[in-house]
Amino acid sequence: MSETRRNWLLSAPGLVLFGVLLFVPLVMTFILSLNSFDFYGGIKPDIGPGNYFAVLGDGYYYTIFGRTFAIALVTTVICVLIGVPVAWFMLKMTPFWRSIMVLVVIGPLLISVVVRTLGWAIILGNKGIVNDALIHLGLIERPIKMMFTSGGIVVALVHVMVPFMVLAVWAALQRADPAAERAAESLGAGTVTIFRRVVVPQALPGILSGSLIVFSMSASAFATPAIIGGRRAKVIATTVYDEFMGTLNWPLGAAIAMLLLVSVVVVMLAWNRLVERRVEKVIG
């Protein structure tokens, strides 16, 4: 048996599983998005771009798409602002404290998003911990509305996403040469200068790959916006859910989902192009 044939044979079970349970369903969903729907007859097998026109011609959906990508963007920026310094501090810790911090970063990642979001719902609610504390301190009279707002979604999303950023930046910094920092220090650079001129450039590959992960995951997140945002701050994922499970207009839901998929893929490709050009610049 030739080497190549053996390799394909070893991959065959995976290829079959992914062919039947990933490729076929995605193609079926695309076709579904071209079907039409009426409330009496259900899904009709005709083909046409009607659903896409319906979504792209309705300001309601622009608001939802705009809100989703704004939330994803703000979440990504905050994750960079938190993740880069934390990863750098972690690198300089003693092994004991570093292992504690690794636990702090990775631990929440392994706990269900539903559970973590429940925690945020308790913290951010109108009778939640933050509002209670602020009222007790006399800083505010009426509770600040955080549940069912985009701001609340961002806070909880940052919590879900920031570990990915820390891990990506940390991996990049571990590959970097620590001598550069010492050299900068011996030449009289302060901590802020070292961070800005040495650490950030070294962390850049990690920042770029981390941002991509955080942005695409935030744009398609479901659990967090569903629990914190509810019906009042809808994002793309929760809208798709409502179309499928609420109004039962599957073709329209499929079209919205396809638009989400396309926009995430476009952002990813554009981002990769940007990263490649950036790397070329550094090397060339």
Partner 1 sequence: MRNGVFAKLCCLVFAAFMLAPIVVVVGVSFTPTGFLEFPPSGISLRWFRAILDAPEFIEGGWISLKLGVISATLAAVIAVPAALAIGRGRFRGREALLALFMSPLMVPTVVLGIAFLRFLTVVGLSGTFTGLALCHAVIILPFVLRLVLASISGLDRATERAAESLGAGGWTVFRRVTLPAIVPGILGGWVLAFITSFDELTVSVFIVNPSTTTLPVRLYSHIAQTTDPLVASVSTVTILFTVVLMIVVDRFYGLDRLLIGEGKK
Site for partner 1 in 144-163 (CB under 8 A): 156, 159, 162-163
Residue of the chain from 56, 111, 183, 282 that contacts partner 1 (CB under 8 A): 111
Residues 6+ apart with CB under 8 A from 154: 71, 74, 75, 78
Least distance from partner 1 to the Cβ atom of residue 40, Å? 20
Between 167 and 206, how does the x/- string for binding to partner 1 read (CB under 8 A)?
A: x--xx--x------xx--x-----x---------------
Rg (alpha carbons) of the chain, rounded to whole number: 23
| Burial letters 88-112, b for 16+ CB under 10 A, else e | bebbeeeeeeeeebeeebeebeeee
Among 1-9, 49-57, 72-80, 272-280, the segment contacting partner 1 (CB under 8 A): 1-9
**What's CA 131's distance to the chain center, in Å?**
27
C-alpha distances out from residue 19 to 8, 15, 26, 32, 149, Å: 14, 6, 10, 18, 40
Beta carbon nearer to partner 1, 191 or 284: 191
Q: Does 282 bind partner 1 (CB under 8 A)?
A: no
Least distance from partner 1 to the Cβ atom of residue 93, Å? 7
Site for partner 1 in 197-256 (CB under 8 A): 216, 219-220, 222-223, 226-227, 230, 236-237, 240-241, 244-245, 250, 253-254
Find where tokens 């990504």 sit.
76
Residues 6+ apart with CB under 8 A from 217: 161, 164
Sign of the torsion angle spanned by Cα atoms 92, 94, 98, 101: negative
Beta carbon nearer to partner 1, 125 or 150: 125
Task: Determine the Cα angle at 207 with ends 206 and 213, to 5°.
Answer: 90
Residue of the chain from 70, 114, 140, 183 that contacts partner 1 (CB under 8 A): 114
Q: Does 107 bind partner 1 (CB under 8 A)?
A: yes
Q: Does 122 bind partner 1 (CB under 8 A)?
A: yes
**What's CA 255's distance to the chain center, in Å?**
21
Between 71 and 100, how does the x/- string for binding to partner 1 read (CB under 8 A)?
A: -----------x--xx--xx-xx-------
C-alpha distances out from residue 73 to 16, 21, 69, 76, 266, Å: 37, 31, 6, 5, 15
Residue of the chain from 47, 56, 70, 115 that contacts partner 1 (CB under 8 A): 115
Q: Does 36 bind partner 1 (CB under 8 A)?
A: no
Beta carbon nearer to partner 1, 89 or 282: 89
Query: Which DSSP letter does residue 22 get?
Result: I
Q: Does 275 bind partner 1 (CB under 8 A)?
A: no
